[in-house]
Amino acid sequence: MTDLPRHQLTMTVLMTPDMANFSGNVHGGALLKLMDEAAYACASRFAGAYCVTLSVDQVTFKQPVHVGELVTFLASVNYTGRTSMEIGIKLIAEDIRARTVRHTNSSYFTMVALGDDKRPLEIPTHTPNDASEQKRWQEAEQRRQQRLAVR
């Protein structure tokens, strides 16, 4: 196995009939559950600890996801604080037969690392590696300031 970056995770899931409504569209709640699982896996791998979801920014479903499509959840640590981090999740739906892919939605999860005592645990600092990661860090910092202002 190659060394995977600790700050990124890719998870691909086949959309099955049990996830969908009668018209063959996957329920938003089923996608949210999978997004949360991808955010948890990415955050926990990065922190080396159990992580919980603190908040989820707005989720807009731009396009429906259909039964039979493969959906890839691209998760990335965008920003780290002392005990929390922002995980960006991007969904890519792939119609296997038509050989087409489309970006259906994105969202941002704030995750908190917890120690064995269930109290917030200090996490490593993520250092952006390139211009794209630096941009995501700056945008995440702005979202963090907006969330703090609402409190």
Query: Can you give the CATH number for the domain in which 110 is found?
Result: 3.10.129.10
Q: How many domains does the chain have?
A: 1
Domain-located, residue 14: yes
Q: Which domain holds residue 109?
A: 8-150
Evaluate whether residue 140 is within a structural domain.
yes
Q: Residues 4, 55: contact at Cβ < 8 Å?
A: no
Q: What is the pLDDT of residue 150?
A: 83
Please tell me the predicted confidence (pLDDT) of residue 148. Answer: 85
pLDDT of residue 25: 96
Residue 1 forms part of a structural domain: no
Judge whether 47 lies within some domain.
yes
Please tell me the pTM assigned to this model. 0.92
For strand 100-114 and strand 50-56, is the pairing parallel, antiparallel, or unpaired? antiparallel
- pLDDT of 114: 97
Spans in the chain with pLDDT lower than 50: 1
In a domain, 2, yes or no: no
